[in-house]
Amino acid sequence: MIRSIIQDMRSRSHRVVQDLSSMEEDSALSELISDDGLRQSCWAQMPQELLREVLIRIEASEAAWPPRKSVVACAGVCRSWRHITKEIVKTPELSAKLTFPISVKQPGPREHLLQCFIRRNRSTQTYYLYLSLSNTLSEDGKFLLAARKCRRPTCTDYIISLHADDMSKGSNTYVGKLRSNFLGTKFTIYDGQPPHARAKITKSRSTRLVNLKQVAPKVPTGNYPVAHISYELNVLGSRGPRRMNCIMDSLPASAIEPGGVAPTQTEFSLSNADMFPTFPFFRSRSNRVDNSLSGPLANQKDGVLVLKNKAPRWHEQLQCWCLNFHGRVTIASVKNFQLVASPENGPAGPEHDKIILQFGKVGKDLFTMDYRYPISAFQAFAICLSSFDTKIACE
């Protein structure tokens, strides 16, 4: 029965997608979503208890991509399906799964590293982040994010987008950017929407470009600084990795402790929701800052989280500095690194030994990226992009 429901749901979702794609105005889309004819479909009238049981089984059985697209399709069938699917699908912190686009802005799993990889295109200066679907990197993964390098007279920007072919600041697919100084030693990560309730926007020309398409003034879209990355002169010379220091302005230091909480974005602002006209799951009539965020960074006495690169060990047989990537990195490179929490506000504990982010080379233009709580895929991707940038003062 469940299989027939899935097949019928996919067929109906496909018809809904075709209908919605022909709508150009938000008002027309809203009328279509609330239209009685759409809600009175056979599946929309299912008893709530039965519908919930069906969706729970679908969510549990379709645990990996590409079959997991059935879960996404469920959210696009009708309003009742959407609400229940939203309740069933857990955040990556709890489920270790990336299901909806907002998942890339939410902290990763607590118990283990979530495995991803990055493909670099040298000719177009673009970078693509994928979720690993298997232990081998020979197959294509699930696309998550893309970034394009933009050189400027005094700095370099990496524009990060949810769309593989649309990486512009004025686009609705814009989610943030990474900006470096002229020397490539200091970087700032900007989020396209508030990472927590007290976040302050940075006014710039790019902010004005993004706001051209803003439709929700209560959730201003722009540039919110969420992290600062600095690279120091490598005291180990050419034989050791770069020295990194990441100040995560949007994450409290207590987030790495047992029971610690990190701010979690639960939905995109309305200006970003225009990216998903086919799935009304991503739309909300009320997108206030306090509704789209949880775990605000407010009144934190212990400061913000600081990450530093893990120090390598000297290997006597190989006569080089080494880090244990547990088979995830196969090619030596100055870009390779592992980040752990820095005990800035007290003695180091076992939580400071856990690797929060690791990045390394496995091919000419292929790199692995593994991350965990409390950082998100977006933050991890931006940090890794800083490693690609040329560092005049460090090399």
Question: In this predicted structure, what is the pLDDT of residue 62?
Answer: 86
Give CATH 3.20.90.10 domain extents, the chain: 105-197+220-257+301-387
Asked if the bond preceding 252 is cis, omega within 30° of 0, the reply is: no
- Are 371 and 251 contacting, i.e. CB atoms less than 8 angstroms apart? no
Helices 79-88, 48-61: inter-axial angle, 10-degree rounding = 50
User: What is the phi-psi region of residue 203: left when phi exceeds 0, alpha when psi lies from -120 to 50, beta otherwise?
Assistant: beta
- Are 182 and 152 contacting, i.e. CB atoms less than 8 angstroms apart? no
3-state helix, strand, coil in the chain (%, to 5): 30, 25, 45
| Alpha carbon distance 78, 38 (integer Å) | 7
- Residue type present at position 164: A
What CATH architecture applies to the domain 105-197+220-257+301-387? Alpha-Beta Barrel (3.20)
Question: In this predicted structure, what is the pLDDT of residue 308?
Answer: 93
Q: What is the mean pLDDT of each run of 10 residues along the chain (395 residues)?
A: 54 43 33 43 76 89 87 86 89 92 94 94 94 77 93 91 85 90 90 73 51 41 86 59 87 90 81 46 39 48 83 77 85 89 71 89 94 96 90 54
Question: In this predicted structure, what is the pLDDT of residue 184?
Answer: 83
The neighbouring-strand residues paired with 309 are: 339
pTM for the whole structure = 0.79
pLDDT by residue (tens digit) across 9-58?
555 544 443 443 333 333 333 333 444 444 445 667 788 888 889 888 98
